[in-house]
Amino acid sequence: ELKVEQNPLFLSMQEGKNYTIYCNYSTTSDRLYWYRQDPGKSLESLFVLLSNGAVKQEGRLMASLDTKARLSTLHITAAVHDLSATYFCAVLPNAGGTSYGKLTFGQGTILTVHP
Amino acid sequence: EPEVTQTPSHQVTQMGQEVILRCVPISNHLYFYWYRQILGQKVEFLVSFYNNEISEKSEIFDDQFSVERPDGSNFTLKIRSTKLEDSAMYFCASSKDRHTEAFFGQGTRLTVV
C-alpha cells in the first residue's frame, strides 16, 4: 500500500522567513502534485511534478521532485501572511500500474504565517 | 476556465437517511473520482469511475455507497442509510486520463445529525 508522509504537520512561521515542507512516499512514482487548501475550501492545484529532478516555481513557492529518494519538497521563500493554509502533497503511481488515477494524499501541513 | 462543480455546497441530513451528492465534471474529462475529507484529516480516495463503470474503489467505499453517471454530464455519489461518521467534506474530481492532473470541485459538506 502506498504511503505518503509529510513533515512537519504544523508549521508556524514568521513573515519574511524561509522554510521547507517535505513529502516522502513509499512506492515508485514520478508524478507528484501539491495542493493548497484554505479552511473549508476546495483543493487548489499548485504544482504538477512529472519527472525526476522536476522543479517548478510560482511566486514565493518552489517545488521539486527526487524520484530516486522518493521525496518532494515545497520551499517557501520570504513567507507572507497570505500563504497561511494547509498544503497537501499527493502521489499518483506510475503509468502501467493498475491504479486508475487514484491519488494518495499526505496528511497535510498546516502553515501559519504571523507577523 | 473549465471547472468541476458540485451541488449542494452543504447538506444536513438525519442519520439513516439517503443522500445524493452531485457533480458536473469538466466536459472533456473521462475519469471521475470521489474523495472524502473528515474534518481536520487528510483527503481519502473513495472511488474512480471510467467508461460508465467503477474502475477502482477503496475499503471505505462499501455497499452503503454507489456512484452513477445518469446522463452525459452529471456524476453522483449516493450514500444510503447515513451514519454520524459519514459527516465529512466530499470532493468530486475529474481528469482527462488516469495519469494526468485531477481537478477538484469546491466540495459538499455533509453533516449527519
Task: Using CA coordinates, name the residue in chain B closest to A88.
Answer: B42
Q: For residue B104, with 0-12 CB atoms within 10 Å meaning exposed, 13-18 middle and 19 or more buried, which class applies? A: buried
Contact B102, B45 (CB under 8 A): no
C-alpha cell at position B66:
454507489
Parts of chain A with a pLDDT under 50: none
Please answer yes or no on whether B42 and A108 come within 8 Å at the CB atom. yes
Q: B43 pLDDT exceeds 80?
A: yes
- Residue A115: asked if its preceding bond is cis (omega within 30°), the reply is no
Residue B1, C-beta contacts closer than 8 angstroms, at least 6 positions apart: none
- Closest Cα in chain B, distance from residue A107 (Å): 5
- Mean pLDDT calculated for residue range B102-106: 93
Of the candidates B42, B56, B104, which has its C-beta nearest A102's C-beta?
B56
Asked if A101 and B95 come within 8 Å (Cβ–Cβ), the reply is yes
Higher pLDDT, A39 or B92: B92
What is the structure's pLDDT at A88?
Answer: 96
Mean of pLDDT values over B62-87: 94
Whether residue B83 has pLDDT greater than 70 = yes
- Residue A100: per-residue pLDDT: 66
User: Which residue of chain B comes nearest to A39, CA vs CA?
Assistant: B40
> Which residue in A has a C-alpha nearest to residue B98's C-alpha?
A101
Cell of B73: 454530464
Chain A: give the shortest CA distance to residue B45, in Å: 7
Q: Which residue of A31, A43, A88, A98 is the best one to mutate when testing the B interface, meaning the one whose CB has the most B CBs within 10 A?
A: A43
d(CA A22, CA A78): 18
Closest CA to A34 of A18, A19, A50: A50
Which residues does chain B have within 8 Å of residue A56's beta carbon, measured at their own beta carbons? none
Partners of residue A101 in chain B, C-beta under 8 Å: 31, 33, 48, 55-56, 95, 97-99, 102
Looking at residue A97, what is its pLDDT? 57
CB contacts of B67 in chain A (<8 Å) are none
pLDDT value of residue A40:
84
